[in-house]
Structure 1
């Protein structure tokens, strides 16, 4: 999404809180607005000062690391460890290929998330909640910080904790139930391998991060960014870092991910079969580690954490 438009002025009689409540109580999210055929973006989504994030310095490309052979070729493993070290110290991000997750699992995960959001409104509405008490295993809504954030993002999300205590099958939405279990199992395996590589890159025992509990939990988020009638006025996700040890991000073919590197935003184009890895805040804050965390921003790609 290009952010080079001009936001409309806020009228004195604009009741933002009332609009937020009405939007939330409809329990249909941004997808519901699009399904209703809106032609103008509601004011709760307007950026106060739209920015231009379209600049792209030629030659800047997020590192891509190939894990092929790391388990049976010691020389290749050492090479990959150095690549991981360099990528995390400079970018805090890298793309990963030959990571072991089958392509059909990746494609099924993307389809499962799409199928969830494209369900009939009344069926999907039953999953909509802001109850974070743990009574429900799936938290589906639009903007977890809806009532606190200065701007509402053009995005719907579902969230589910898959480890250490996985949900029962009936606690997950049918359109993505089976694939959530399969995908989570694969991502957990990859996460363990990555944390071992990161530990070795830092000169530590390969089990150091695992012993710290960095791989004990796994949360899966499925974001959905519907087509926007006025994309210059709003944004899918603002610049942020992740409050996690690592994030493994699956983009769809649309792309939309940007990383802030060397004082400018850099596109991260999707690579078929690849995932994007990001060192989160917790990993950076865990002594004796010293990994870089970059700001990143997501537009209209469907991404799964």
Structure 2
């Protein structure tokens, strides 16, 4: 029986391949002035009413890092951040140390990349998503059952950095500056999260959990039928920690309990979220939570730049799991250890949106 809205005899793979080979992305579709989105982007009707609903009664925690180096104020900040990581898995930071001018320039540079002519961007178009530089639409285009309304520029910065000449010139300087600043913020947050678990501040960094670093820039262009698709489907991040910068166009939503909460754009802020690896390493103390992006109904594109942090992905032998310091007879391990090959196999063998690690490695 054909799915609603999909005609009998419809060849989805053929349309996917045609879209992929065009290399124009959803930005190209949007710019062409289409009024009807292609069928590969149309989601099953039963999933869409829930996608549109959102809570307006709650907001993710907002944490001020202005006094993070103060012996007097730091314990309170540690408490705020660890509470947010336990109860929300998401929080926003202000006074984080990154100049607002750097944030604005980073967003502008990524937007400039996506607004280049399709033939210029096409030089970077690829499907090799675990190294170097990749521009594409829907990383999981061939793994998923339905596509979502966004394009991506991905740049690997560690452990093997992309070649400088491969990073698009229009945003190269800003990519390098953002990476330096985002890493500083991530290391500060990891120290605070460690202290919230009763660990030495530098524990996670010493264990190498900032070694794998990928910067992912998304654009969510105007969608003519936002009620039929989504910008990015519900998922958790698989790594340790994520640092997110977004422009002023809304769309990001976080699941809190049984409701979806809008993450309101706040100029000058950064958004942090816990990844699956941190949930496991913290033995479930910190929570990675589902989040998603709605399709953009605004004429102004939504732009977000994210840096993901995790352990060295070249190490095929080392085992990751709950830290021994956090395990006791009262709090036994709830996850088993895993290696990076297991991690990668789990993530890339499933459609985007599965909680690939947390559910697979439960004891």
Classify the TM-score, shorter chain: over 0.9
Tell me whether 1:10 sits opposite 2:6 in the alignment: yes
Do 2:254 and 2:260's aligned partners in 1 also have CA atoms closer than 8 Å? yes
Question: What aligned pairs does 1:84-99 form with structure 2 within 5 A after superposition?
Answer: 84-99=81-96
2: distance between equivalents of 1:167 and 1:17?
31
1:198-256 per-residue CA deviation (whole Å, 9 max, x = no partner) reads 00011111111112211122210000111111111011001100011011111110121
SS in 2 for 1:75: coil
Is 1:188 matched with 2:183?
A: yes
Residue equivalent to 1:48: 44
**Coordinate RMSD, CA, aligned:** 1.5
CA distance 1:271–1:132, change in 2 (3 Å) = closer
Helix, strand or coil at the partner of 1:51 = helix
Quick one: distance in 1 between partners of 2:4 and 2:228? 8
Cα distance in 1 between the residues matched to 2:261 and 2:56: 9
Q: Deviations over 1:27-62 (max 9, x none)?
A: 111111122221101100000132333444453111
Please give the per-residue CA displacement for 1:102-143, whole angstroms capped at 9, x wherever unaligned.
Answer: 101100110111001110111111100113474xx2111111
| SS of 1:165 mapped into structure 2 | coil
Specify which of 20, 39, 43 is matched with residue 24 of structure 1: 20
Deviation readout 1:246-274 (Å, 9 max, x if unpaired): 11111110121111002000111011100
Q: Which residue of 1 aligns with 2:256?
A: 261
Q: Paired residue for 2:319?
A: none
The range that moved more, 146-155 or 30-39, is 30-39
Q: Determine whether 1:70 maps to 2:68.
A: yes
Normalising by structure 1, what TM-score?
Answer: 0.93
Q: What is residue 122 of structure 1 aligned with on the other side? A: 119
Gaps of 5+ in 2: 297-301, 307-363
Distance 1:165 1:94 in 2: 29
Q: Which secondary structure state, in structure 2, belongs to the residue aligned with residue 239 of structure 1?
A: strand
Partner of 1:303: 304
Which residue of the partner structure matches residue 97 of structure 2?
Answer: 100
Instruction: Please list the CA deviations of residues 54-93 of structure 1 after superposition, one character each: whole Å capped at 9, or x if unmatched.
Output: 444453111100000111x112100000001111111011
Q: What TM-score does the superposition give when structure 2 sets the normalisation length?
A: 0.79
- 1:235-274 equivalent positions in 2, closer than 5 A: 235-274=230-269
Cα distance in 2 for partners of 1:191, 1:255 equals: 23
Q: Which has the higher contact order (CA 8 A, sep 6+)?
A: 1
Match of 1:4 in 2: none
Structure 1 stretch displaced more, 225-234 or 291-300:
291-300
Contact (CA 8 Å) 2:240, 2:274: kept in 1 or not? Answer: yes
Query: How far apart are the structure 2 equivalents of 1:147 and 1:117?
Result: 22
Q: Distance in 1 between matches of 2:249 and 2:7?
A: 35
Number of residue pairs matched?
A: 296
Q: Contact conserved, 1:132 with 1:139, CA < 8 A, in 2?
A: yes
The answer to whether the 8 A contact 1:202-1:289 is kept is no
Q: Secondary structure at the match of 1:130?
A: coil
Residue 176 in 1 paired to residue 171 in 2?
Answer: yes
Partners of 1:36 and 1:264 lie apart in 2 by: 36
Which residue is 1:140 aligned to? 135
Q: Is the contact made by 2:56 and 2:262 (CA closer than 8 Å) also made in structure 1?
A: no
Gaps of 5+ in 1: 1-6
- Match in the other structure for 1:60: 58
